[in-house]
Structure 1
Amino acid sequence: MTSTTTTTGKRIVVLGAGYAGLTAAKGAGRHHDVTLVAPEERLLHRIRQHEAAAGRGRDWPAIGELTRGRTIRHHRARAVELDLAGHRVRLDDGTSLAYDTLVYALGSRTAWHGVPGAAEHALPAERAAEVRHRIREADQPGTLAVVGGGATGIELATELAEAHPDWTVRIVAAGPVGGIYSPKGRTHVRRVLDRLGVHVHENATVTEVTPDGLRTTAGPVDSDLTVWAASMEPHPLAAEAGLAVDERGRALVDDHLRSVSHPDVHVVGDAAAVTVPGVGTLRMGCATALPQGQYVGKLLDGRTGKPFSFRYVVQCLSLGRRDGLLQLVHADDSMKPTVFTGTMGRLAKAGIVSAVFSALK
C-alpha cells in the first residue's frame, strides 16, 4: 500500500471487492484509511464469466494492483458477523475490525429457490472455472444445459455453444428466453441461438436437478453438465445483522445510499434496494453497482453531497465472439424498439465492458 495523500484517521471498512465495493474503496481511499475485506486475490470480472466458462478468459489483475496509490489495505477474509451497535465486523480468520463507517457491498449469489438437487448437481454461473474444467476433463463431448433465460443464461449458452460445437447445448427457461428484451431483441437472440445449434426449452420451470438431467414442468431434459443461471439473491448477512431489508433481503437505503436503519452503514450494489425517483428500484447488475460504488466513494471523500441519481440508457448482451445485442431502453429500463445487432452489437458490448474495466483501474 502506497500513497502520497494525507489521511483523516477515519476508519472505513468496505465489505466486498466487486464492482461496487472496489470503486467505493478506491474513492474513499484518497483521503481515508480503508480496509477492503474480500477473500479473493484477484478481481472477479463477473460480466466476463461466460468467457471464462468457455475457456476464453484470462487472469484479471490482483486487487492490490487495482488499489495501488490509495490508502487501502486488502484483508483477505470473509465477513461472518456484523456488530452494528459496537461498530465491528467479525471475519472468518478469527479477527475483527472496528469501523467508523461501513460500506456493505457483499453483492449477490446464485439463488437455488429450493429446487431439489440443484445445489448438489448443478454448477452456479459464478463457478465458471469449474465449468471450463469439467468440459475439458470430459471423456467425450456430451450435453450441457444452462438454466436461465435472462442475460447471464443467454451469454453462457451462446459462448459455450460457439466454443464447443461438439457439445449439445441446451437453454432451459421458466418463461420465454430473452423475454425482457424488445420484440426485435428477442428475435435476434433466438436467431443466434438457432445458428449456434442451441436447443431452446421455453416455459419449462425446473422442478428437480438430477445427475443426468432436469425434470421440468414441460418434461425431462437430459444433461451431463448443468449450469445454473436462473436468478440471484443478496447475501443474507445484512438481514442477519439487523439492517432493514426488503422482501428479497436487499438493504433499504436512503437517497445517499445509507441504511435507513443504520445510517453509519452505506450499502451498494446488488445488496442494496436503491429506489430513484422517476426510475424505480434498480435491478441487480454491473450497470447499477458501478455507479453506486463511485458515488459512495466520492461521498465519503467529500467530493459530493448530492443525492444519488441514475437513469438507464442501454442493455447489452454478448452472443459469442461474433455477435451481440445493444438494446436501447428508457430511463426506467423499459424497452425501446431500437436494437443494434451483429458486429455493431458485439463492438458496443466490448466497448462497455472495456469501459467498466477502465473504471476499476
Structure 2
Amino acid sequence: MSTQRRAGMETAHRVLILGAGYAGTAAAIQLAARVKGRENVQVVLVNPQERFTERLRLHMTATGQQLAEMNLPELLEGTGAQFVRGWVTAVDADTKTVRVDDDQVLHYDTLVYGLGSVADTAAVPGVEEYAYTLNNAQDAELLADRLARLGSGTVVVGGSGLTGIESAAEIAERHPELTVMLLGRQEPGATMNPKAKAYLQSALERLGVRVRSGIEVVNVLPESVELAGGESIAADVVLWTSGTRVSPLAAAAGLTVDERGRIVTDAALRSVSHPEVYAVGDAAAVRQGYGVMHGTCQGGMPTGVHAAVSIVRELKGEKPKPFRFGYYHTPVRLGRHDAVVQFTHPDDSPRRMYLTGRKAAWYKETVTASPWQTYVRMKKMPSSGAFWPRGGRFTRIREAW
C-alpha cells in the first residue's frame, strides 16, 4: 500500500492513469479539471518519462527537425493531479495495485489503462536487432543522427501504412542524397479512393521514393532485408513501421483481452471483466456499430475524455454513457508542403471528397497541430466531450487531436 494511503488518505478515491500518450494525458487533464478541489478524489498519472511524446510528428524528429519540448509535470501544475515517473511492470487486478519500476506499489480504486502500442519488432527476425523504430522521441533522434551521418546509401522503410508513407516522404525530401525504398504488402493509400491514392503515389514518385508493394519482408540483416521468395535488397538503414503490438501486462493481470492483447471494453470503455478498469487509446478493443475501432490518433483523445467524464459520473452515483465514435478523415503528410486528405465515412471507408497539395498540407497541420494548447485549455475549462466526430460530422476541428 502506498505511503499516501497509509498517511490517512484511505477515504480518498484514487484514480490511477497508466500512460501519458494522447489518450492518457487527455484523461488525466479532463478528470483533474472536473474533480479539482475535491479532497476525496486523487488523480495520479504514471509515465516512464516526463517528456510528452508527439507520436504523430516523430517522422519529423527522425529527419532532424526540432519539436517543442513538452513537460508533463509542468502541464499538471495547478490541477491537483500527481505525476509518478516510472515504468509500469505489473498490474494486479485482484488487489487493485500497480507495480512501478519493481520497487513501488500504487493502489487504485479506478484504473485508466492507456499503455498504448509500439512497433511490432518481434514478428520478423532481425527487426529487433537491426531496424530503427519510431516508438518515442529517443528512437527518432537515434535515426536522425544515423541519417545525418550516412552521406549516401539506401534507406528501406518496412511497412506501407500511414507511418511508413509519411516517414519515407519526409526522409526523401530532407535527404535527397539517399535512396528511399518503401516496401509493403499493400499499395500506399490502399484505403483511399482511386483519385486520392493516385495523387499520393505520384507525390511519392516525385520525391524519388521507390515503392514496391505486394511483397513481404521475412528477415532483416545488418546490411540488407530478405523478401519472401528469396530476393535480397541492400539497405544501409531499415526503419520498421509494419504492425504494432500492445503491452502484455493487461493479459497477465487477468483482464479480458482480444487476440491482439487489447482490453475488451463495454460500451462505456470499461473492461468487460473488471469494470473498475477503463481502457483508452490503442490499448482498448472498442466495438462500435461498424466494428472494432483501429488504433489511430483520431480515437485517442476522445476515449481519454470519455473515460474521465464517465468516472466523474460514477463518482456521482450515475451510470456512464456509451462511447460513440465515427472516423472523419485520413490526412497524410507528403513532405513539408504537400499532403493528401481523404475524407471518410464514420466506418473509415473513403468518401469521394479529398484534398491535395498545399491546402491539404495546411489542413493536416491544422488538425494535427500540437495538442498542448488543447490540454492547457482543458485545465481551465473541461471539454464537454463533444469535439470528436459524431455521426459523420466533425466539430471544433482544431481541438480534435
* Pairing 1:107-186 to 2, within 5 Å after superposition: 107-126=116-135, 127-138=139-150, 140-186=151-197
Q: Which residue of 2 aligns with 1:221?
A: 233
Q: Which residue of 1 aligns with 2:364?
A: 349
Q: Which residue of 1 aligns with 2:383?
A: none
Query: What TM-score, normalized by structure 2, do the two folds share?
Result: 0.85
Residue 46 of structure 1, CA deviation: 0.3
Q: Which residue of 2 aligns with 1:258?
A: 270
Residue 86 (structure 1) aligned with residue 95 (structure 2): yes
Residue 56 of structure 1, CA deviation: 1.3
Which structure 2 segments of 5+ residues have no match? Answer: 1-10, 36-40, 377-401
**Aligned match of 2:21 in 18, 21, 45?**
18
One-letter amino acid of the counterpart of residue 18, structure 1: G
Q: Which residue of 2 aligns with 1:289?
A: 300
Asked if the contact 1:83–1:241 (Cα under 8 Å) also holds between the matched residues in 2, the reply is: yes
Residue 41 (structure 1) aligned with residue 50 (structure 2): yes
Asked if the contact 1:238–1:245 (Cα under 8 Å) also holds between the matched residues in 2, the reply is: yes
Classify the secondary structure of the residue corresponding to 1:75. Answer: strand
* Pairing 1:180-329 to 2, within 5 Å after superposition: 180-217=191-228, 219-277=231-289, 279-302=290-313, 305-329=320-344
Asked if the contact 1:48–1:57 (Cα under 8 Å) also holds between the matched residues in 2, the reply is: no
Asked if the contact 2:54–2:370 (Cα under 8 Å) also holds between the matched residues in 1, the reply is: no
Distance change in 2, residues 1:181/1:251 (3 Å): same
Which structure 1 segments of 5+ residues have no match? Answer: 1-7
Distance change in 2, residues 1:107/1:193 (3 Å): same
Asked if the contact 1:150–1:180 (Cα under 8 Å) also holds between the matched residues in 2, the reply is: no
CA distance in structure 1 between the aligned counterparts of 2:293 and 2:308, rounded to whole angstroms: 19
Percent identity reads 37
Classify the secondary structure of the residue corresponding to 1:29. Answer: helix
Classify the secondary structure of the residue corresponding to 2:83. Answer: strand
Q: Could you report, residue by residue, the CA deviation over 1:46-86 in whole angstroms, capped at 9, with x for unpaired residues?
A: 00111111111324310112223312111110111111111
Classify the secondary structure of the residue corresponding to 1:112. Answer: coil
CA distance in structure 2 between the aligned counterparts of 1:87 and 1:271, rounded to whole angstroms: 18
* Pairing 1:2-81 to 2, within 5 Å after superposition: 9-30=12-33, 31=35, 32-81=41-90
One-letter amino acid of the counterpart of residue 245, structure 1: V
Residue 338 of structure 1, CA deviation: 1.8
CA distance in structure 1 between the aligned counterparts of 2:351 and 2:241, rounded to whole angstroms: 25
One-letter amino acid of the counterpart of residue 113, structure 2: Y
Residue 142 of structure 1, CA deviation: 1.8
CA distance in structure 2 between the aligned counterparts of 1:336 and 1:113, rounded to whole angstroms: 35
Number of matched pairs: 352
CA distance in structure 2 between the aligned counterparts of 1:80 and 1:179, rounded to whole angstroms: 38
Residue 339 (structure 1) aligned with residue 340 (structure 2): no
One-letter amino acid of the counterpart of residue 175, structure 1: Q
Asked if the contact 1:45–1:60 (Cα under 8 Å) also holds between the matched residues in 2, the reply is: no
One-letter amino acid of the counterpart of residue 331, structure 1: P
Classify the secondary structure of the residue corresponding to 2:368. Answer: helix
